[in-house]
Structure 1
Amino acid sequence: MKSDLRSDPLRVASVADMPPAAADARPSKPPLAAGLSWFGRVLLLIAVPLAILLLASGLAILIVRVGGDLRLGIDPFTNAAARPRLPLSEVTGRGVMMDALRQVLMAALVIGLAAWAGGAAWRQRLGLARPLEPRLPMRRLWLLLPLWPMIHIAWVTTTAAALHMNFGSGVRLSPFLNPTMLGLWFAFVVVLAPVAEELLLRGETFARASAFLGPAGTIVATALLFCLAHVSLDPGAKSALARPLTLLPLALTLGWLRWRTGRLWPCILLHGWSNFCLLAYQLGPSLLR
């Protein structure tokens, strides 16, 4: 007896299951993981987002450094010893521009990879098109949004206290950020990072994981990759673990939303809303003084 597509929202429909329009939009490229073992697929699942992140970061650093040097009349190929000391406002601004540009490049790389792997069905692959199977009505997302700030902030502050880290309110912005860079930084936190990270993890990586993992495995795998991507480079053990632990509930919830709705935009919306609320909690007291 033919199984019902609704019994498993992550089941990949065959061409025979698809309506004519969907069948015409089937992927034109063979899966990159075809013929790999389960372990090989797991390694590829980790390697692809890592490669995209590293490539986007490297390109962003190169573009911002070369562009900034040319703007200031500095030879970009000057060795470090002969380079003039940059003002702190320039250093801070370059850091913000690198962060913002990295997200833009990451989103472009993900869309390009999805278009290569999924052909005309790349929007379906990334969750940017209406799912083929019935899913949870997206209007229920509005019930989660009012409650999420309390849940997320409670988890973040509790985890930070347990690790003796300061993630509470009263955080101050750098005094070297000019208004333009401040606006760009805010856009990076609330818009650019949620869009790029969701395209990478709940879009392309979710599609790859769901090809060989069940719903629970796909949600957990993408959540762990999301947390690992936010590991701090600080050598202190507590500092290195703090941010991934604070993000774990958000990562699992975003994966659940992607699975239940079949769409990516609810994940982007909740991710941006979560960042905004945490930002308001941390910066609010210092801005009101």
Structure 2
Amino acid sequence: MLGLVLVPLVILVAATFIAGPLVRFVGDWRLGLDPFTPLAERPRLPLAELAARGVITDALRQGVMALLVLGLAAFACRGGGPGALRRRLGFAKPALPRASTRRLLWLLPLWPLIHIAWVTATAAALNVNFGHGVRLSPFLSSTMVALWLTFVVLLAPLAEELLLRGEVYARASAFLGPAATIVVTALIFCLAHVGLEPAPRYASSFSALARPLTLLPLALTLGWLRWRTGRLWPCMLLHAWSNLALVTYQLGWFAGLR
């Protein structure tokens, strides 16, 4: 059980420590700055540069995370024969008959309503303003906005599902039953999204719980999909669709308020 927590933690930390310094080094080199200059002596960067670096770091971190998961899974499958990696991560057709993935497509049109209703209700119950004051940085170029959308809708679902419903699910299912595996991977998924930024003064003392609680139904549903279909791509599809629906709702909400 300790390994189930340590594996995603180590991968997340490693991806962050690779992506962050790499973006800083390349960005400084592009601007003609010495990346090894002490922090107190560094010139102030333009706000557009800082915003772009934030988006690029997020996107690169997901890419690095996906590569680390694939490497770890490949190491775990060494000597397992042809197709062992695909079976471990849920890319191969399951040996035992499972639910048809096509029959589960009914979930897609219903999910945005379910997820948005749960998110808003949970945020209200915890006295957390859902999306209030949150918007895309005005300093982001159109290219960076496109990269941010790619990160939210494609890169994050792909990397996170590879990690949680791929590698961690495979490790958990080796000694846990289906229900316990679904719950454990869901809890790890939610804990990995706990916000580390300080809460505003007016926020509830439970605001730190808002992020993981709003994700709990999604996390449990993704685990159920992984078990029910035996495949990973339905999880990636629902995760991507959920992210897109929620972001579209938030941006549309603010457009209406303005």
Shorter-chain TM-score: what band?
over 0.9
Structure 2 equivalent of residue 54 of structure 1: 13
Task: Say yes or no: does 1:268 pair with 2:236.
Answer: yes
Deviation at residue 178 of structure 1 after TM alignment: 0.6
Amino acid aligned to 2:44: R
> What TM-score, normalized to structure 1?
0.83
Distance 1:285 1:247 in 2: 20
Structure 2 equivalent of residue 128 of structure 1: 91
* Cα displacement string for residues 222-248 of structure 1 (whole angstroms, at most 9, x for unaligned residues): 000000000000234433211100000
Contact 1:170–1:285 under 8 Å retained in 2: no
Distance 2:131 2:14 in 1: 33
Distance 1:219 1:250 in 2: 11
Equivalent residue runs for 1:71-220 within 5 Å: 71-119=30-78, 120=82, 121-168=84-131, 171-220=134-183
Deviation at residue 157 of structure 1 after TM alignment: 0.3
Alignment partner of 1:239 out of 207, 215, 238: 207
Structure 1 equivalent of residue 217 of structure 2: 249
Deviation at residue 62 of structure 1 after TM alignment: 1.2
Contact 1:231–1:243 under 8 Å retained in 2: yes
Deviation at residue 164 of structure 1 after TM alignment: 1.2
Deviation at residue 53 of structure 1 after TM alignment: 0.6
Structure 2 equivalent of residue 23 of structure 1: none
Distance 1:168 1:161 in 2: 11
Tell me, which stretches of 5 or more residues in structure 2 are unaligned? 200-204
Distance 1:146 1:198 in 2: 21
Structure 2 equivalent of residue 43 of structure 1: 2
Distance 2:111 2:133 in 1: 21
* Cα displacement string for residues 109-152 of structure 1 (whole angstroms, at most 9, x for unaligned residues): 10111111113401110001111111111012211001101100
Structure 1 equivalent of residue 250 of structure 2: 282
Distance 2:61 2:135 in 1: 24
Structure 2 equivalent of residue 225 of structure 1: 188
Contact 1:110–1:199 under 8 Å retained in 2: yes
Distance 2:50 2:86 in 1: 38
Contact 2:127–2:207 under 8 Å retained in 1: no
| Structure with bigger gyration radius | 1
Runs of 4+ more than 3 Å apart:
168-171, 285-289
Distance 1:183 1:115 in 2: 32
Distance 2:44 2:133 in 1: 31
Distance 1:169-1:281 versus aligned 2 partners, 3 A rule? farther
Secondary structure at the aligned position of 2:109 is classed as coil
Distance 1:270 1:174 in 2: 27
Secondary structure at the aligned position of 1:199 is classed as helix
**Aligned sequence identity (%):** 69
- Count residues with an aligned counterpart: 248
Amino acid aligned to 2:101: M
Amino acid aligned to 2:190: C
Contact 1:231–1:240 under 8 Å retained in 2: yes
Deviation at residue 170 of structure 1 after TM alignment: 7.8
Distance 2:20 2:131 in 1: 30
Contact 1:157–1:168 under 8 Å retained in 2: no
Deviation at residue 171 of structure 1 after TM alignment: 4.3
